[in-house]
């Protein structure tokens, strides 16, 4: 079975996922990517993550997401409608999505921790998005972030806590990642690139991801 870490092979498909952990469609997009890879067990794939922050202007403590949507879409009813659409999409994919008291805000601490996680960053990303979308956890809360770290093998919670306590830790790497996503022209997430080719923004279907991977394999052969 293909994994997010990839498999040893002479020619590998490189997938770059530009994402924000507090974007629900990134949660959906990651799950679809995992399912696409699981359906292609003989394909060697490396997946990397590049950070993107949707709402860096908001506080790290977060604010009620419905209030943000009310301002963005004009009224609470439209905001609730948008959240209901996301919930329906997640449910159709068999994913949990609990919007009760969900918050929005600056996710940079979560991204610093992901960059610290190195080869385990995609496993940590998965634990973070589950905490946010399934367990009502806000990813600006260091206790929630550390709980996600503890669910990933080979990550040291004490070292993670030290990273979170120092705002300078992995800040240069974060800025470099954000500059990369900007340089790639990403304006919305998730955004996927296969061997450097953009697939466009949004949580692409499993079929679309498989087709892009297959085409990249054919081009490389």
- Which CATH number goes with the domain that contains 74? 3.40.30.10
Q: What is the mean pLDDT of the chain?
A: 92
Our count of domains for the chain comes to: 1
201 compared with 114, residue with greater pLDDT = 114
Does some domain include residue 2? no
Confidence check: pLDDT of 6 > 90? no
Does some domain include residue 166? yes
Length of the chain: 221
174 Cβ partners below 8 Å, 6+ apart?
51, 108, 111, 112, 115
Does some domain include residue 43? yes
Confidence check: pLDDT of 75 > 90? no
The range of the structural domain enclosing residue 149 comes to: 13-220
Chain segment 106-115, per-residue pLDDT in tens: 999 999 999 9
Cα–Cα distance for residue pair 157/45, rounded to 1 Å:
29
Does some domain include residue 36? yes
Does some domain include residue 4? no
Task: Say how far residue 11 (Cα) sits from the centre of its chain.
Answer: 26
Structure tokens, 51: 């950070």
> How far is the first Cα of the chain from the last one, in angstroms, to the nearest whole number?
21
Among all chains, which residue has been given the structure tokens 């949580």?
203
Per-residue pLDDT, 216: 84
Beta strands in 10-82 (DSSP E): 13-19, 45-51, 63-64
Does some domain include residue 90? yes
Chain segment 33-62, per-residue pLDDT in tens: 999 999 999 999 999 999 999 999 999 999
Q: Mean pLDDT, to the nearest integer, of 90-96? A: 96
Per-residue pLDDT, 83: 87
């Amino acid at each position: 079975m293909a994994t997010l870490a990839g498999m040893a092979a002479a020619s590998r498909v490189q997938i770059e996922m530009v994402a924000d952990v507090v974007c629900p469609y990134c949660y959906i997009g990651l799950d679809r990517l995992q399912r696409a890879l699981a359906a292609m067990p003989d394909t060697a794939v490396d997946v990397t993550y590049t950070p993107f922050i949707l709402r860096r202007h908001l506080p790290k403590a977060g604010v009620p997401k419905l209030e943000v949507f009310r301002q963005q879409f004009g009224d609470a009813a439209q905001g609730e409608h948008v959240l209901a659409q996301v919930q329906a999409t997640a449910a159709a994919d068999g994913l949990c999505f609990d919007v009760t008291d969900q918050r929005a805000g600056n996710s940079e601490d979560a991204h610093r921790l992901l960059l610290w996680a190195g080869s385990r960053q995609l496993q940590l990303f998965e634990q973070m998005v589950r905490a946010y979308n399934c367990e009502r956890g806000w990813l600006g809360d260091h206790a929630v972030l550390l709980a996600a770290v503890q669910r990933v093998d080979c990550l040291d919670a004490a070292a993670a806590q030290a990273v979170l306590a120092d705002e300078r830790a992995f800040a240069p790497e974060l800025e470099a990642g954000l500059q990369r996503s900007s340089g790639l022209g990403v304006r919305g997430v998730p955004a996927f690139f296969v061997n450097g080719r953009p697939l466009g923004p949004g949580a692409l279907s499993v079929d679309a991801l498989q087709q892009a991977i297959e085409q990249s394999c054919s081009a490389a052969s």
